[in-house]
Amino acid sequence: MEADDYTRKLLEEIRDTQREHLAEYRRVAQQSMELQQRGIARQEQFRAIYKRVVVIGGVLVAVLLTLLGYLLIRWSHYLFR
């Protein structure tokens, strides 16, 4: 009888420990999912900012090249004699 009680108590402890591990695993998995979702949202924000910077930079480069071309044409007779 004493061995059966010991075995039963040991199995109950193992069961309880497994339940604790499962609860901890679920908590960590949930936290990991939340971090991934926040990371994805942050990447989308950076992508939008990057897209704006590229568009603004492209427009700025086009304007500067146009201005340079205009100045070269306008002042070519003074610059290239």
Task: Count Cβ atoms below 10 Å from residue 55 Cβ, excluding itself.
Answer: 10
pTM of this structure: 0.63
Confidence label for 79 from pLDDT (cuts 50, 70 and 90): confident
- Check: CB of residue 41 under 8 Å from CB of residue 35: no
Residue carrying the six token digits 């949930």: 30
Domain-wise residue ranges, the chain = 2-79
Average pLDDT for residues 45-60, to the nearest whole number?
A: 97
Q: What radius of gyration do the chain's Cα atoms show? A: 34
Is residue 49's pLDDT more than 90?
yes
What is the tens place of the pLDDT at every residue in 3-22?
A: 888 999 999 999 999 999 99
**What are the backbone dihedrals phi and psi of residue 10, each rounded to the nearest 5 degrees, phi first?**
-65, -45
CA gap 44, 38 in Å, rounded: 10
- CA–CA–CA angle 52, 57, 60 (5° rounding): 130
